[in-house]
């Protein structure tokens, strides 16, 4: 490769992005330097500022540049429904796909003892405090349908019950447009056992 | 080395490189193994939903160094998934297994015990006796077997009606002085029950305290994270 230290440093730094190996990093660096210096400058300025200024919402732990995120600050959002998700991308997914008008709490992970993640690491004390001070009517648990996600859901369910809050869990089943033949056994079993009367 | 259709359970899966998973599995004839499941996190992965803990699987892999490469994962049966408190117990068993077992140290007996434990947890039976017996066998497999039949020092058989203080690494010592702290005492009947695998309900509390103390003794200052789930 090149013997230009700064260029090498740039290529190396770009590799911290997901899905970017040495080849793509080199292509990105050369593209910015050869064809899009303005874009590169804007990127570096925005990146630097974002890393400095974006923190966590003090209510829901989602990423925000203010003290509270736009969803928590919005008075129109329903305080009676609280949806618990694992990550900020889950908030985006639910916001895009549903007409949910309640609020969120972002765990930034899931209970996973083997990864050293317990209730403290997920900010569940903060959540318990919120449930005590201003309990919503319904807690919607939208953690992923994995073993760790289910364990997290059960832990949350017990927390909510302590505060007398009704709990619901998002449904899991056959994907829309999918075919039973190509759906895995566990999903079919789950979809079958939690079928709905129509 | 190629391994084909080996009865196994996934103990834990963590993201590895771009789209793969690094699986810790407990297999019947190869003990705990680390396997890379290439592309398992991709949208179209054929292993989606299969490589989850507590499911009886038949895993096939090839292995050159410390880590193997998963080549196939077949689901044997679809048992009811663990739920609620049982799920926490299962995660506890998995953490314990990973902490105590070295990789590639086969213990087929322990595997059978793990299978039974998961089956009991899945139907929601009272899991405490099964957990105690699993803990005992796991300690044995790790080389920390418990002395449950004979008294430490005298080699007298443990008596059902006597009280003992269990000394880690040594064994039960007959209770001598009144100043022995009550919490650390264990009845001979409980020790013999654990030995025979027939644990009575009235002994569950003292056996739990005993195993907890021993596990803490062997794990040192890095406690088990899964215990924080039970509060």
CA dist., res. B208 & res. B89, Å (int): 13
- Digit-coded pLDDT (tens) for A91-127: 999 999 998 999 999 999 999 999 989 898 898 999 9
- Do the domain assignments include residue A183? no
Does A118 touch chain B if contact means CB atoms closer than 8 Å? yes
Query: Would you place residue A176 in the very low, low, confident or very high pLDDT band (cuts 50, 70, 90)?
Result: confident
> How many domains is chain A built from?
2
pLDDT of A141: 96
Query: Would you place residue A77 in the very low, low, confident or very high pLDDT band (cuts 50, 70, 90)?
Result: very high
B194 closest CA partner among B164, B220, B224, B216 = B164
CATH code of the domain containing A126:
3.40.1360.10
Helix orientation angle between B128-141 and B188-196, rounded to the nearest 10 degrees:
80
Our CA-based measurement puts residue A18 at a distance from the nearest CA of chain B, in whole angstroms, of 7
Q: Which of A22-31, B3-12, B78-87 has the lowest mean pLDDT?
A: B78-87
Q: Which of A2-11, B99-108, B145-154 has the lowest mean pLDDT?
A: B145-154
CA dist., res. B5 & res. B3, Å (int): 7
pLDDT of B230: 82
What is the pTM (predicted TM-score) of this model? 0.85
A43 and A102 co-located in one domain = no
- Supply the range of the domain harboring residue A36: 6-53
- Do the domain assignments include residue A128? yes
Q: Is the pLDDT of residue B183 over 80?
A: no
Query: Would you place residue B43 in the very low, low, confident or very high pLDDT band (cuts 50, 70, 90)?
Result: confident
- Do the domain assignments include residue A111? yes
Q: Give the count of Cβ contacts less than 8 A between chain A and B.
A: 74
- Digit-coded pLDDT (tens) for B72-103: 998 887 677 788 889 999 999 999 999 999 98
- Mean pLDDT on A117-138: 91
CATH code of the domain containing A32:
1.10.8.420
Q: Is the pLDDT of residue A139 over 90?
A: yes
Query: Would you place residue B146 in the very low, low, confident or very high pLDDT band (cuts 50, 70, 90)?
Result: confident
Q: Determine, for residues A114 and B98 on separate chains, whether the beta-carbon distance falls below 8 Å.
A: yes
- Digit-coded pLDDT (tens) for B95-130: 999 999 998 889 999 999 999 999 989 887 778 888
Contact in structure between A88 and B197 (CB atoms under 8 Å)? no
Q: Which are the contacts of A23, defined by CB distance < 8 A and separation ≥ 6?
A: none
Beta strand ranges found along chain A (DSSP E): 55-56, 63-64, 81-85, 103-106, 138-141, 166-169
Q: Kindly report the CATH class assigned to B2-75.
A: mainly beta
- Do the domain assignments include residue A138? yes
- Do the domain assignments include residue A151? yes
pLDDT of B150: 83
Our CA-based measurement puts residue A19 at a distance from the nearest CA of chain B, in whole angstroms, of 6
A95 and A49 co-located in one domain = no
pLDDT of B179: 56
Does A151 touch chain B if contact means CB atoms closer than 8 Å? yes
Does A186 touch chain B if contact means CB atoms closer than 8 Å? yes
- Digit-coded pLDDT (tens) for A37-62: 999 999 999 999 999 999 999 999 99
pLDDT of A31: 96
B229 closest CA partner among A158, A143, A135, A87 = A158
Contact in structure between A98 and A104 (CB atoms under 8 Å)? no
Q: Determine, for residues B48 and A184 on separate chains, whether the beta-carbon distance falls below 8 Å.
A: yes
């Amino acid at each position: 490769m090149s013997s230009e230290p700064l260029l090498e440093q740039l290529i190396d730094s770009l590799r911290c992005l997901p899905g970017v190996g040495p080849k793509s990093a080199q292509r990105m660096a050369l593209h910015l330097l050869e064809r899009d210096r303005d874009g590169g400058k804007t990127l570096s300025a925005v990146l630097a500022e974002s890393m400095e200024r974006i923190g966590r919402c003090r209510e829901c732990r989602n990423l925000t540049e203010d003290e509270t995120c736009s969803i928590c600050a919005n008075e129109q959002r329903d305080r009676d429904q609280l949806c618990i998700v694992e990550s900020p991308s889950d908030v985006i997914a639910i916001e895009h796909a549903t007409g949910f008008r309640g609020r969120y709490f972002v765990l930034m992970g899931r209970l996973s003892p083997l990864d050293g993640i317990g209730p403290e690491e997920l900010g569940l004390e903060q959540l318990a405090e919120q449930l005590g001070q201003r309990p919503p009517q319904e807690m919607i648990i939208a953690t992923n349908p994995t073993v760790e996600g289910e364990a997290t859901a059960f832990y949350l369910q017990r927390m909510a019950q302590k505060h007398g809050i009704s709990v619901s869990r998002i449904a899991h089943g056959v994907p829309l447009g999918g075919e039973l033949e190509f759906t895995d056994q566990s999903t079919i079993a789950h979809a079958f056992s939690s079928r709905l009367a129509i | 080395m190629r391994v084909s259709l080996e009865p196994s359970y996934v103990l834990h899966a963590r993201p590895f490189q771009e789209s793969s998973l690094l699986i810790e599995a407990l297999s019947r004839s190869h003990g705990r193994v680390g396997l890379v499941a290439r592309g398992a996190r991709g949208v179209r992965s054929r292993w989606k939903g299969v490589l989850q803990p507590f499911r009886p699987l038949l895993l096939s892999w090839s292995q050159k160094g410390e880590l193997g490469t998963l080549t196939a994962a077949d689901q044997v049966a679809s048992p009811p998934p663990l739920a609620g408190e049982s799920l926490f117990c299962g995660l506890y068993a998995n953490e314990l297994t990973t902490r105590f077992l070295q990789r590639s140290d086969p213990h087929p007996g322990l595997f059978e015990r793990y299978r039974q434990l998961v089956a009991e947890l899945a139907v929601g039976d009272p899991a405490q006796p099964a957990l105690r017996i699993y803990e005992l066998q796991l300690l044995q497999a790790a080389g920390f077997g418990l002395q449950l039949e004979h008294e430490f020092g005298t080699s007298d058989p443990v008596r059902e009606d006597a009280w003992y203080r269990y000394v880690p690494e040594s064994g039960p010592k007959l209770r001598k002085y009144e100043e022995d702290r009550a919490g650390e005492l264990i009845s001979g009947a409980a020790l013999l029950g654990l030995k025979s695998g027939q644990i009575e309900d009235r002994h569950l509390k003292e056996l739990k305290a005993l195993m907890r103390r021993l596990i803490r003794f062997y794990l040192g200052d890095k406690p088990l994270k899964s215990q924080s789930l039970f509060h």
